[in-house]
């Protein structure tokens, strides 16, 4: 009889705390700060934007004591321990490098950079400076992700042979929408497709074969993708991402003696079914956090890692971030080449 292990995650309260600064007070930063302040002991003490009015309004809304125009003043502040880079994709690299150069730890919104080469530059800079750097692949820090990892390590489904994952949010096309501008990181892969790619990598490990087809917008940004992967072990993955339709966001892992099935979106706090020789089991996230409230978990994890003297995440390393981006780069090349 299979007994489900208890997920092991950093507690949301009662652990080490850091003083956070936010670069880029956009939509994801709004959600991140809201859940961090509601559900953890971490505190955001500063925010910076190119617009003074924008940073001031964000600070007032979230009870943040310091608001700056431009990132330089925030990075010079001795009151900031760690920086959350929540700016648009094209700003991840320059802002992360600036934070690292200022000696700040850094959490960089996913994906860490526009491509693998930029991610490698960030990784090398962080290692040279001896500061902590982590991609905000927040789903990895949810309780369900630890449960899946433990089940796989225990051989609960036998040898993994196939992984599936989909994610799609419908976007209305506009030529002026940055989501459709490939020169600044537009396209469905960098926005949504990175999640299925991460999930496959987290389960299968290194990928040695990538095949992708898809569609592009008039701007050449990819708007649909279907991806087949083969891992170094020979296991397969079937993934999809879409900006033309909204999908359930389901994922699954199939092994030789059982399977793990997500009954709700694998990106958010979720429900799982585990089928094995020991029968069928159900598991649901009981933290009380739903949707983007789950962003809180990565903040407390990072604070704990810094307190332990680490310089990168033991769950999703800088090399993991780079490996996922290498596959993402390959997928985009194939889609755009086939669309010519």
Please determine, for residue 246, whether its predicted confidence score (pLDDT) is greater than 80: yes
Domain assignment present for residue 33? The answer is: yes
Q: Label residue 263 by pLDDT band (50, 70, 90).
A: very high
Domain assignment present for residue 14? The answer is: no
Average pLDDT over every residue of 121-141 = 98
Mean model confidence pLDDT for the chain: 96
Q: Which residues of 325-340 are buried (b: 16+ CB within 10 A; e: fewer)?
A: bbbbbbbbebbbeeee
Average pLDDT over every residue of 190-207 = 97
* CATH number for the domain that contains residue 72: 3.40.50.720
Domain assignment present for residue 254? The answer is: yes
* CATH number for the domain that contains residue 195: 3.30.360.10
Indicate whether 161 and 68 sit together in one domain.
no
Nearest to 187 by CA among 242, 118, 226, 239: 242
Average pLDDT over every residue of 138-167 = 97
Helix (H) or strand (E) holding 230: strand 222-231
Domain assignment present for residue 293? The answer is: no
Listed residues 136, 164, 180: the one ending a domain: 136
* Number of domains composing the chain: 2
Indicate whether 69 and 171 sit together in one domain.
no
81-111 pLDDT tens trace: 999 999 999 999 999 999 999 999 999 999 9
Helices (H), the chain: 27-39, 52-62, 71-76, 92-101, 116-129, 143-153, 188, 194-204, 296-307, 318-339
Indicate whether 230 and 265 sit together in one domain.
yes
Residue with the bigger pLDDT between 176 and 317: it is 317
DSSP assigned state of 284: E
321-334 pLDDT tens trace: 999 999 999 999 99
Please determine, for residue 281, whether its predicted confidence score (pLDDT) is greater than 70: yes
Looking at residue 41, what is its pLDDT? Answer: 98
Domain assignment present for residue 2? The answer is: no
Domain assignment present for residue 304? The answer is: no
39-59 pLDDT tens trace: 999 999 999 999 999 999 999
* Residues designated catalytic: 110
Please determine, for residue 7, whether its predicted confidence score (pLDDT) is greater than 70: yes
Q: At how many degrees (to 10) do helices 318-339 and 194-204 cross?
A: 130
Share of residues in the chain with pLDDT > 70 (%):
99
């Amino acid at each position: 009889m299979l007994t489900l292990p208890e997920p092991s995650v950093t507690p949301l309260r009662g652990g080490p705390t850091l003083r956070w600064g936010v670069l880029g007070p956009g939509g994801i930063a709004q959600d991140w700060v809201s859940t961090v302040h509601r559900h953890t002991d971490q505190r955001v003490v500063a925010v910076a934007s190119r617009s003074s009015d924008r940073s001031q309004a964000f600070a007032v809304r979230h009870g943040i004591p310091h608001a700056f125009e431009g990132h330089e003043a925030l990075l010079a502040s001795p009151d900031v321990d760690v920086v959350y880079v929540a700016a648009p994709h094209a700003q991840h690299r320059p802002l992360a490098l600036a934070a690292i150069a200022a000696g700040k730890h850094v959490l960089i919104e996913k994906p860490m950079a526009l491509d693998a080469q930029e991610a490698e530059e960030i990784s090398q800079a962080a290692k040279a400076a001896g500061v902590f750097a982590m991609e905000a692949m927040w789903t990895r820090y949810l309780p369900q992700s630890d449960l899946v990892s433990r089940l796989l390590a225990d051989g609960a489904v036998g040898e993994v042979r196939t992984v599936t994952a989909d994610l799609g949010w419908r976007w209305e096309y506009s030529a002026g929408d940055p989501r459709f501008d490939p020169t600044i990181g537009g396209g469905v892969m960098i926005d949504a497709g990175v999640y299925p790619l991460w999930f496959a990598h987290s389960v299968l490990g290194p990928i040695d074969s990538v095949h992708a087809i898809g569609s592009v917008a008039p701007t050449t940004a990819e708007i649909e993708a279907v991806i087949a992967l083969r891992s170094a072990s020979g296991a397969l993955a079937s993934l999809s991402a879409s900006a033309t339709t909204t999908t359930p966001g389901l994922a699954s892992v199939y092994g030789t003696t059982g399977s793990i099935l997500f009954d709700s979106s694998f990106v958010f706090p979720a429900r799982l079914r585990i089928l094995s020789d020991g029968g069928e089991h159900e598991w649901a996230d009981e933290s009380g956090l739903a949707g983007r409230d789950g962003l809180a978990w990565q903040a407390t994890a990072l604070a704990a890692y810094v307190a332990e003297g680490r310089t990168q995440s033991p769950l999703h390393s800088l090399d993991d971030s780079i490996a996922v981006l290498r596959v993402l780069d390959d997928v985009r090349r194939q889609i755009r080449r086939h669309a010519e």
